[in-house]
A and B are shown apart, each in its own frame.
Chain A
Amino acid sequence: MHDQLETLLEMQDLHMQRRALDEGGVRELETGLFEMGAEQAIDALEAKITELELRLGKSNQERFRHLISTRQRAVVPVLAGVCYGCFVAVPTSWAADADPNDKLNVCQSCGHFQYYPS
């Protein structure tokens, strides 16, 4: 897997965790059932996101920030040859690669980073 893609995936997952703690249902469960300290958790997640951002190249960093703030997701899956950022078919040559995740693919239509789940 491309190292920048790995970092982007990790950052997006952390953003999801961070955002989920603002949602009523998740926050209630995490602080109730699991007795998590929500504010401390948010601080820890934000610190980790900032740390990981430094591993990205400048253009990827800017694209990630833009996408996550405007469209909530920066990395989207490609399933059955379709980009789940815009639902447009990806070029067949991309999906035909031995492991398409070895490259950092950006959708030509919507601009999201793409990930091919196994």
Chain B
Amino acid sequence: MRLRDFFSVDAIDLDLSTETKDETLKKLVGLFHLDEKSEGILFKMLKRRENLGSTGIGRGIAIPHCRSLVVNRLRVAFGRHGAGLDFKAIDEKPVHYVFLIVAPPLEVSNQYLPVLGKIAQFSKEADVPERLAAVENAEGFLQLLEEKGV
């Protein structure tokens, strides 16, 4: 299983200009091109998950995630925010890199947890924040995932 296989170029936004955590979640959910109601439900679920504890894991990275029936397969998106966002992260520092993961309640190949784990593993590598900052386009982001062997 390779992480890059789960990302599509149109679900990568390297120039987020949102002002809040909520706006950012909405923007990233929008990259999945669901209908308006489904987007609303998904946003609500992600917010609920955030209310249980921030998914900002530190070092400028957040991994919001949830399961919901409004998606029929595992979906992932990535957003980069130059200025940084208040995500109430564990280290209380601004978040610049957001990986969004959403999966249906039941999946045939059960990829949700492994994908979440791989993104966590990737995020823990020492040079990743710096490398993500330097990525120039969506292809570059995908190449970085490949280079890191995740």
Contacts and interface: CB of A to CB of B under 8 A. Distances in A.
B67 A20 contact: yes
B119 to A, nearest CB: 10
Interface residues of B, number: 31
A41 B105 contact: no
- Dominant SS at the A interface? helix
Interface in B50-77: 51-55, 57, 63, 66-72
A117 to B, nearest CB: 4
Interface stretch (B12-20, B30-38, B133-141): B30-38
B48 interface: yes
Given A33-B120, A118-B35, A14 B48 contact: yes
A35 B90 contact: yes
A71 to B, nearest CB: 11
Contacts of B57: 33-34
A25 interface: yes
Contact of B38 (A17, A41, A79, A118): A118
A12 B69 contact: yes
Given A29-B120, A77-B69, A118-B35, A10 B41 contact: yes
Interface of B: 34-35, 37-38, 41, 44-45, 48-49, 51-55, 57, 63, 66-72, 90, 104-106, 113, 116-117, 120
Contacts of B71: 117
Interface in A1-51: 1, 6, 9-10, 12-14, 16-17, 20, 25-26, 29-30, 33-37, 40-41, 44-45, 48
